[in-house]
Amino acid sequence: MPEAITILCAGVGAVVGAIVGSFLGVVAGRWPQRRSVIHGRSACEVCGRTLAWFDLIPIVSWMGTRGRCRTCGAPIGIDALLAEVLGAIVGGTACLASDVPGWSVAVLGWLLLVIALLDARHMWLPLPLTIGLAVTGLGLATYQALAGDDAAILAQALAGAFVGWAPLALLATSYRRWRGREGLGGGDPLLLGAIGLWLGPLGVIHCLLAAALAGLAWVALISVRARIIGTGGMTAQSALPFGTFLALAAWPLYVIG
Amino acid at residue number 169: A
Residue 181 has pLDDT above 90, yes or no: no
Q: What is the mean pLDDT of the chain?
A: 88
CA distances (Å), 104 to each of 12, 28, 214, in order? 17, 22, 25
Spell out the alpha helix ranges (H) of 75-186: 78-96, 102-122, 127-147, 151-179
Provide the Cα torsion 254, 140, 114, 249; round to 10°: -20
- Please tell me what DSSP assigns to residue 51: P
99-103, 197-201, 240-244 — most confident range = 197-201
Which residue, among 127, 117, 141, has the nearest Cα to 199 in the 3D structure?
141
CA distances (Å), 161 to each of 138, 150, 166, 168, in order? 10, 18, 8, 12
Q: What is the pLDDT of residue 174?
A: 84
DSSP class per residue in 197-233: HHHHHHHHHHHHHHHHHHHHHHHHHHHHHHHHHT---
Which of residues 44 and 167 earns the better pLDDT score? 167
- Listed in sequence order, the residues at least 6 apart from 175 whose beta carbon sits closer than 8 Å to its beta carbon are 182, 183, 184
Residue 238 has pLDDT above 60, yes or no: yes
Phi, psi of 229 (to 5 degrees): -95, 0
Rounded to whole angstroms, the Cα distance separating 129 from 124 reads: 11
Q: What is the pLDDT of residue 35?
A: 82
Q: What is the pLDDT of residue 15?
A: 96
Q: Are 192 and 208 contacting, i.e. CB atoms less than 8 angstroms apart?
A: yes
CA distances (Å), 239 to each of 89, 119, 184, in order? 28, 11, 9
Residue 235 has pLDDT above 80, yes or no: no
Q: Are 160 and 201 contacting, i.e. CB atoms less than 8 angstroms apart?
A: yes
Average pLDDT of span 209-215:
95
Q: What is the pTM of this model?
A: 0.90
Residue 93 has pLDDT above 80, yes or no: yes
